[in-house]
């Protein structure tokens, strides 16, 4: 068998295999969260999210909005040195992010087994 014939068979098999993979994986809501940062943020995003009184007070100020909270929970960085501390029946996580105005913020979130509570929002001062 010549090279171009083998290559044609390879392409036909590869195409069928890719079609099967696309059909199987396209209908599922799959995520590849292999890194700890992505796992924690995904776990917090997928639970019912509540705001503590202090966080609600901060949200009433002009410098932060719920969109900033959602963006931080999507693209933020979890500080594992200060996080994963057991408190009040859940675990405290410190997450760093930015507002839409490029202001650095820090979120303190208590991650309970059934819900996540935003405890505080801290504005970071640039030095």
pLDDT tens for the chain, residues 1 to 127: 899 899 999 999 999 999 988 887 776 666 677 899 999 999 999 999 999 999 999 999 888 999 999 999 999 999 999 998 898 889 999 999 999 989 999 999 999 999 999 999 999 876 5
Query: Are 99 and 105 in contact, with CB atoms under 8 Å apart?
Result: yes
Give me the numbers of helices (H) and strands (E) for the chain, helices first please: 4, 6
């Amino acid at each position: 068998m010549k090279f171009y014939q083998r290559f044609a068979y390879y392409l036909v098999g590869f195409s069928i295999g890719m079609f099967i993979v696309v059909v199987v994986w396209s209908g599922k809501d799959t995520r590849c969260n292999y890194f700890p940062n992505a796992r924690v943020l995904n776990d917090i995003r997928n639970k019912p999210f509540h705001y503590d009184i202090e966080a609600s007070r901060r949200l009433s100020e002009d410098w932060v909005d719920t969109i900033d909270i959602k963006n931080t929970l999507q693209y933020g960085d979890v500080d594992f040195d200060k996080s994963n501390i057991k408190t009040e029946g859940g675990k405290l996580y410190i997450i760093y992010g930015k507002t839409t105005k490029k202001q650095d913020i820090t979120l303190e979130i208590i991650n309970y087994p059934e819900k996540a509570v935003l405890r505080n929002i801290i504005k970071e001062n640039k030095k």
